[in-house]
Amino acid sequence: MAETDAIWVLGCMSGTSMDGIDAAMLLTDGVKVFEFGATGFRPYTPAERAVIAAAQGKWPGDDGVAEAAAIVEQTHAELISRFGGVALVGFHGQTLAHEPAARGTHQAGNGARLAQMLGKPVAWDFRSNDVAAGGQGAPLAPFYHFALARRFDLGRVAFLNLGGVGNITFVDPLADAPDAPGALLAFDTGPANALMDDLVRARTGLACDYGGALAAIGVADQGIVTRFLELEYFSKTPPKSLDRNDFAQLAEWVEPLSDPDALATLAAASVAAVKAAFRHAPFPVRQLLVCGGGRKNDHLMKLLAEELPVEVVSVDKAGMDGDMLEAQAFAFLAQRVRLGRTISAPGTTGVPQPMTGGLVSHP
């Protein structure tokens, strides 16, 4: 395909941190990234976030889910309407529950309704096909990581996204395609920002531990970190995925600690989980490129640099937009959905064979 086959796609992502919606324009043919376009962010108000948070862990038809979905749709429509030249929207929705081995996966927000609200085609429901076929349904950004590694000529690298939950992608851009055997290995590492943000919000009313300042003056409880690493998840072979609330016991374990010590312990646990992930690395990598909100936590980045056997850098230093990588990923995937291309593979979600997925709804 050539650049003449590319269209401008607006990707939107509302992550497990539930802070708001990222939106990013991408000129892509679903194979290559030709240009990066405008970006935007729409924070959730405290009232909106409260409704969405109250629906966490719930499924379609449960109390509060319809209200959360309506907020997700309306806020997305508000943000998307600020952009011009959009040929296609990639709409992830807001994950409320993710149990791939049991009930499935649930993202609040209906793409067909959003298409009607916007008067534009919307690609959505990215995860259901993968889960129905036996995959984890996550992570989905790895196909985009493959395209980025090629665009920036990075060689073999790993991308670490530190959102509410952490996930890592080992990328070999010399492979024929992202769904080729050995091209990608991706999985969730463990908690990243979610538990730290929840603790800070509950104890201080602040949105997060800005820059990791509180954690930096605390002392991590290594006994808790050791017990954390003994949890069943870390003995599982990847690909594997997590829900935002899968490590609630870790939050309980740090409850008796002071604010700085609790945050230092949560940060140490997040980094220990990333270090454990490197036991599964399929090949040596030259760099770990960190994206997501966690890359702004100086304490977390310092710990990663100290604990990992690889150079740790923010993706911004490699020329990318670390705030918008996930939104861009869903622009890229939306174009692949529109063209009927694969969006997941055995090495990314554990699905038995490369899978197409998603729906495109037209107004």
Tell me the three-class secondary structure of 224-238, residue by residue.
Answer: HHHHHHCCHHHHCCC
User: What is residue 101's predicted lDDT score, i.e. its pLDDT?
Assistant: 84
Q: Coil, strand or helix: which one is 16? A: coil
- 42 vs 52: CA distance, rounded Å: 15
- 351 vs 363: CA distance, rounded Å: 31
How many other CB atoms are found less than 10 A from the CB of residue 103? 11
CATH of domain 3-137+330-361: 3.30.420.40
* Interacting residues of 126 by C-beta distance below 8 A, sequence separation 6+: 92, 140, 330, 333, 337, 343, 357, 358
pLDDT in tens, 157-182: 999 999 889 999 999 999 999 999 99
- Class of residue 282 by CB neighbours under 10 A (exposed 0-12, middle 13-18, buried 19+): middle
Torsion of CA 28, 9, 71, 292, to 10 degrees: 30
- 278 vs 238: CA distance, rounded Å: 11
- Nearest Cα to 243, choosing from 186, 163, 320? 163
- Nearest Cα to 276, choosing from 314, 231, 244? 231
Q: Coil, strand or helix: which one is 132? A: helix
User: What is residue 1's predicted lDDT score, i.e. its pLDDT?
Assistant: 56
> In which band, very low, low, confident or very high, does the pLDDT at 349 lie, cut at 50, 70 and 90?
very high
Q: Coil, strand or helix: which one is 59? A: coil
Domain range 153-318, its CATH number among 3.40.50.2300, 3.30.420.40, 3.90.25.10, 1.10.540.10: 3.30.420.40
Average pLDDT for 314-341: 96
pLDDT in tens, 62-112: 999 999 999 999 999 999 999 999 999 999 999 999 899 888 999 999 999
User: What is residue 240's predicted lDDT score, i.e. its pLDDT?
Assistant: 87
- Class of residue 173 by CB neighbours under 10 A (exposed 0-12, middle 13-18, buried 19+): buried
> In which band, very low, low, confident or very high, does the pLDDT at 2 lie, cut at 50, 70 and 90?
low
- 106 vs 94: CA distance, rounded Å: 8
Token pair in block for residue 67:
């209200």
pLDDT in tens, 5-43: 899 999 999 987 788 999 999 999 999 999 999 999 999
Q: Judge whether residue 191 has pLDDT over 90.
A: yes
Q: What percent of the chain lies above the pLDDT cut of 70?
A: 99
User: What is residue 4's predicted lDDT score, i.e. its pLDDT?
Assistant: 76
pLDDT in tens, 137-159: 999 999 999 999 999 999 999 99
User: What is residue 143's predicted lDDT score, i.e. its pLDDT?
Assistant: 98
Q: Do 101 and 60 meet the contact criterion of CB atoms below 8 Å apart?
A: no
Domain with CATH 3.30.420.40 in the chain: 3-137+330-361, 153-318
Query: Order of strands, edge to edge, in the sheet holding 311-314?
Result: 184-191, 165-171, 157-162, 287-291, 311-314
Half-sphere exposure in the Cβ direction for 311 (13 Å, CA): 10
**Helices assigned H by DSSP within the chain:** 46-54, 65-80, 111-118, 128-132, 142-151, 194-204, 213-216, 222-229, 248-253, 259-277, 298-307, 325-338, 346-349
pLDDT mean across residues, the chain = 95
User: What is residue 13's predicted lDDT score, i.e. its pLDDT?
Assistant: 96
Q: Which long-range contacts (CB under 8 A, 24 or more apart) does 203-207 make?
A: 203/259, 204/259, 207/19
